[in-house]
Structure 1
Amino acid sequence: MRTRFHENLVQLADRLQAMCLRDRAAVATATNALLRADVELAEQAIDICRELDTMRDDCEHAAMTLLALQAPVASELRQVVTAIQLVGDLVRMGTLAEHIAGIARRRHPAHAVPEPVQPVVARMGAAAIAMATSAAAVLGSGDPHDAAQLDGQDDTMDRLHHDLLTAVLAEDWTGGTTAAVDLTLLGRYYERFADHAVQVGRRTIFMATGESPDNWPSPGPAGE
């Protein structure tokens, strides 16, 4: 019985990782839609995000079945409850990617991102993809040391967000009010996407160790 329970836990972890990989696909496609002013790509990103609703239901059902039928002990209970919390973060990442795609779709056929700030937005998209990739790897491995690295990756996103706001608020900004509003929202969406990826890492630390992520040692400058 316990062997079957642990097999089910592994399957649940696989489902969470699959959700995170769909988040990565969604934010990558949404970013391309923004930069190319491509409404078909925007629709593809939105479709990917809607897949996450079904994946969420599957994960939550699997987790609740484990709780109801398998009587998990303390460490197992921690894993199942944390998995339910992780589902919330992963769904939110998809929602934020959908918001990004929504701006691209709403402004089509015009570019939502003026040319001068396209490089910053491209780097924000790349940072989001990298963080989703790392989060998915952490969900697969359950390694708390790798999970702690996500905090450092978030610093990159924070710097890019600052750069974007600085450009929008500059006295020589010529992109107009509509673009400024869109970019302010986009910056927030990318930042929050990254924050939820960090939460995946923090929850993984707790799930693997039972320790608060606040008490887990931060990685050194070289990731040591």
Structure 2
Amino acid sequence: MRERFHEHLDSFAATLAILCESSGTAMREATVALLRADLELAEKVIDDVGRIDQLALGCEENAFTLLALQAPVAGELRQIVGGVHIVADIGRMGGLARHVAQVTRRRHPDQVLPDDVRTEFAEMGRVAVAMAATAGDVLAGHDPERAAGLDLDDEAIDEMQSRLLVHITGPAWEHGVQAAIDVTLLARYYERYADHAVQVGRRVVYLVTGSNPPGSGALR
């Protein structure tokens, strides 16, 4: 029975890594759709995130089944409960990619981004997708050291968001209120996506060590 239980735990962990990869794909495609005003690709992202939501729901149900039918000891219990929180973080990452795609759909056929912020958003998308890939690797390998790199990428996205906010509130901004609102919302989506990727990494550190990463505070 214990061997079978650990097989289920391994499958649960593998599904988390797949979810993380899928959320990264969703954000990469959402960013491409945003930059190209590609309605078809935006619609695909929205549909794909719906499937991510279903997979996440099934993953949560599997976790609760493991809790109900087995008697996990401390480390196993930490893995299952922590995994449920990770599912929630990855689900929110997918949801934020969907928000980016929805902005593209809402403004179509118009281009959402003015030319003077497109490079910044392309870079935010690149970093966010790289963070999802790193989080997936951390999940698959249970590697706390790799998780530390997520904080650096998160800081880079925070800095880009700050520059965008300064730009849209400064005298050089000539694109009106609606464009400023769109840029503000989109920058926030990427910033929150990065935050959840960092949370995934920190939760893996907790699963492996039983302690929160230094300076991270209590995991939410």
TM-score (norm 2): 0.95
Aligned residue for 2:173, secondary structure, equals coil
Corresponding residue number in structure 1 for 2:109:
109
Q: How many Å apart are 1:68 and its aligned residue?
A: 0.8
Which 10-residue stretch deviates more, 114-123 or 142-151?
142-151
- Residues 1:184 and 1:199: Cα distance change in structure 2 (over 3 Å): same
Structure 2: any 5+ residue segments left out of the alignment? none
Report the aligned-residue RMSD: 1.1
Q: 1:19-34 counterparts in 2 under 5 A?
A: 19-34=19-34
Q: 2: distance between equivalents of 1:123 and 1:178?
A: 22
Q: How many Å apart are 1:70 and its aligned residue?
A: 1.4
Corresponding residue number in structure 2 for 1:201:
201
How many residue pairs get aligned? The number is: 216
Corresponding residue number in structure 2 for 1:219:
none
TM-score (norm 1): 0.94
Structure 1, residues 154-196: CA drift from partner, whole Å, max 9, x if none? Answer: 1111111112112211212011111100000001000000000
Percent pairwise identity: 49
Are 1:120 and 1:163, in contact at CA under 8 Å, matched by a contact in 2? no
Q: 2: distance between equivalents of 1:137 and 1:117?
A: 31
Aligned residue for 1:214, secondary structure, equals coil
Are 1:113 and 1:179, in contact at CA under 8 Å, matched by a contact in 2? yes
Structure 1, residues 62-118: CA drift from partner, whole Å, max 9, x if none? Answer: 101110111100110000000011111011011111111010110000100011110
Q: 1:65-214 counterparts in 2 under 5 A?
A: 65-214=65-214
**Which consecutive aligned stretches of 4+ in structure 1 deviate over 3 angstroms post-superposition?**
none
Aligned residue for 1:113, secondary structure, equals coil
Q: 1: distance between equivalents of 2:35 and 2:176?
A: 18
Q: How many Å apart are 1:215 and its aligned residue?
A: 6.0
The one-letter amino acid of 2:27's match is V
The one-letter amino acid of 2:124's match is M
